[in-house]
Structure 1
Amino acid sequence: MNTRLGVLLPTNQNQWTDARGLVNFGVRAERLGFDSLWANDTLLGARIEPLAMLAALAPATERVTLGTAALLPAFRRPVTAAQELAAVDHLSAGRLVVTVGAGFPGRSEIEYAVSEVPWPRRFERLDETVALWRALWAGERAFHGKVLRFDELPEPTPSFRPGGPPIWLAGATPSALERAGRLYDGWLPYPPDPAAYRAGLKDVRHAAGAAGRPVEAVTPALFVTVLIGEAAGERELDAFCRATYGVPYETARTIQAMVAGPAEHVAATLAGYVAAGAEHLVCRFAATTLHDQLEQLEQLAGIACRTP
């Protein structure tokens, strides 16, 4: 398989009984040949915090990329977050990738409120937070944006890699596509079909070119929910969507990339996104227990060779 293949860790507390099993899950994924491990971020529902999860995995793994899919910087003080990310970058010896997002209307407003961050101007705040991180990792001691302003910054922890870890953007709105091409190192959306992915990637690359960047400066990735099994289908995806988002599968499928079914069907669906330009697939398993997640992990490893 030429495309890089990763998995989302099942950090939601409903999916495990002993959180240390998540480290074993990550180690098993690396041994099976997966390229990356990812942790997501939300204040809605109990889970293991993503940076803590990746810090635990850093010394337990040797090769895999460790990433956030996606981190919401608004939940953290920006200077503190830069320090935390630099620490994970060091602990992993430069294997960190940071995908960021700004949340979802109708869902994330309460998360912003409890984080004491205003909901308006969230995209501008996100881009400036990323710019601040990069400035800190470069050793700069002041930052003056439109939303974030610091006349005097403390001496920062430098990142393991010069310039810091790659930072990807989640999202597929017209604004996100333009900003991904202009400002970010990668793009991690979940369009509901390969045609939408292909069109979005074209816009990302156009924006990169307009900003004077080479198209290869932006890694094209995909976040996709999968469930592998001869009897797996829409009923199982519907139960997962209702438990995760409180909406039926028929609603979620119009927004997100999701596939369930026999190994051949899942492999063909993933291959369609690869043909549309995706180079790094991040798979979330629509499974409710750590045991079932491990079974899905084994099955996905078995079909990886079927995806180009």
Structure 2
Amino acid sequence: MDIGVLLPTGTAQWGPADDPRELITFGRQAEDLGYSSLFVNDSLISPRIEALTMLAALAPATAGVRLGTAALLPFLRRPVQAAQTLASIDLLSGGRLTVAVGAGFPGRFGRPLYALSELPWERRFARLDETVALWRAVWAGATSFQGEILRFAEIPPMTRPFRAGGPPVWLGGATPAALARTGRMYDGWLPYPPEAADYASGLRQVRQAAADARREAGDITPALFVTVRIDDDADSGGKALDAYARATYGMPLEELRTIQAVVTGTAEQVAERLAQYAAAGARHIVARLAALDLRSQRDQLERLAHVIPVLGRPERQDP
């Protein structure tokens, strides 16, 4: 079991006196505490440190921790340019990059971003899959690419990533189509289902799609994105989570719980809930800490670190 943490790169997670340069120290602290990965979120509309800039800064500042996106929105960037940037980060980090991707969602997380990126909203999933195929091709040395949407007759030599074939690419999402696409072509799955039973059901579908595509189940990393708040009791944790949900999403905790994995309570209660996802098959947890300033983020980071040994060897159940 790998336990990673999402860095608080958005201004909604900073206090008035916080310095965003502290995020480098935060990443080092997480590595020292035993976290196995540092992930960053991606957006264009909400104010935050740009995802790939953050990872490039973390690459030389950390030693062995994995660096990842949760999730990168490829449509915000030119596909060939993104391939070059990702290969560079993988190279600078010594092969520690993992790229989880998504196509965006309707509402303020979807159509407006496509409009600002000067891309059509239609066929966004096909565009995403083809972008990933392009990345893999140029990382392997391709000098041209002929897809259905993306076509490049001539691609000059590019930076090659640290690892042959480039960094692993995971897919976020839990719709039937996303599960099938994960099984067919992605290296990992990073959803956030509200219940462990939903995770187990989705993972079964991913593995069936992999088998249908003649891939091994072990080729796909089953990961989980989950919002975590450890407190003295469930009541105080719930109040803090509600404040976080309203500040981050503009919605109450009650509503957020229906669409995302959210865990709160004492350290023992949080460990018990996360263990349910581990029993359902999750093998890499990416925890988003529910706190609204960097001091509280560091406090949650230390509290969750005490849970890591408990989850290190989960009881395995076939999901």
Q: Please give the TM-score of this superposition, normalised by the length of structure 2.
A: 0.94
- Does structure 1 retain, via aligned residues, the 8 Å contact 2:12–2:247? no
CA distance in 1, matches of 2:81, 2:261: 33
In structure 2, distance between residues paired with 1:62 and 1:235: 36
The one-letter code of the counterpart of 1:46 is P
Q: Per-residue CA shift, 1:107-135, capped at 9, x if unaligned?
A: 22111111111111000000000000001
Q: 2:182 aligns with which of 180, 183, 186?
A: 180
Asked if structure 1 preserves the Cα contact closer than 8 Å seen for 2:231 and 2:264, the reply is yes
For residue 317 of structure 2, what is the aligned residue in structure 1? none
Unmatched segments (≥5 aa) in structure 2: 315-319
SS at match of 1:6: strand
Structure 2 Cα separation of the partners of residues 101 and 109 of structure 1: 14
Please give the TM-score of this superposition, normalised by the length of structure 1: 0.97
Instruction: Supply the distance in 1 between the matched residues of 2:25 and 2:238 (Cα, whole angstroms).
Output: 30
Q: What is the SS of the residue equivalent to 2:48?
A: coil
Q: What is the rounded CA distance, in whole Å, between the counterparts of 2:158 and 2:186 in structure 1?
A: 22
* Residue of structure 1 equivalent to 2:144: 142
Q: Does 1:223 align with 2:225?
A: yes
Of the three residues 239, 244, 264, the one matched with 1:240 is 244
2:267 is aligned with what amino acid? A
Tell me, yes or no, if structure 1 residue 4 matches structure 2 residue 2: yes
CA distance in 2, matches of 1:70, 1:217: 20
Is the contact made by 2:127 and 2:149 (CA closer than 8 Å) also made in structure 1? yes
CA distance, structure 1, for counterparts of residue 12 and residue 307 of structure 2 = 27
- Does residue 128 in structure 1 map to residue 126 in structure 2? no
The answer to whether 1:83 aligns with 2:84 is yes
- Structure 1, 169-178 or 246-255: larger mean CA deviation: 246-255
Match of 1:211 in 2: 213
Per-residue CA distance 1:81-116 (angstroms, 9 max, x = gap): 000000000110000000000001112211111111
RMSD: 0.9
1:306 deviates by 2.2
Does structure 1 retain, via aligned residues, the 8 Å contact 2:237–2:264?
yes
Instruction: Tell me which stretches of 4 or more aligned residues in structure 1 moved more than 3 Å.
Output: none
Paired with 1:64 and 1:6, the residues of 2 have a C-alpha distance of 9
Residue correspondences, number = 306
Listed as ranges, the gaps of 5+ residues in structure 1 are: none
Q: What letter is aligned with 2:112?
A: I
List per-residue Cα deviations over 1:242-287 (Å, max 9, x = no partner). 2111222222111100011111110000000000000000000110
Q: Distance in 2 between matches of 1:56 and 1:269?
A: 33
Are the equivalent residues in 1 in contact too, given 2:6–2:41 (CA < 8 A)?
yes
Identify the residue that residue 251 of structure 1 maps to in structure 2: 255
Q: Which residue of 2 aligns with 1:43?
A: 44
Match of 2:57 in 1: 56
- 3-state SS of the aligned residue for 1:233? helix
1:265 maps onto 2:269 in alignment: yes
- Quote the offset at 1:233 in angstroms: 3.0
1:154 aligns with 2:156: yes
Structure 1's 14 and 106: CA in aligned 2 closer, same or farther, altered over 3 A? closer
1:239 deviation in Å?
Answer: 1.7
Q: Does 1:305 align with 2:297?
A: no
Q: Which residue of 2 aligns with 1:278?
A: 282
Cα deviation, residue 14, structure 1: 3.2
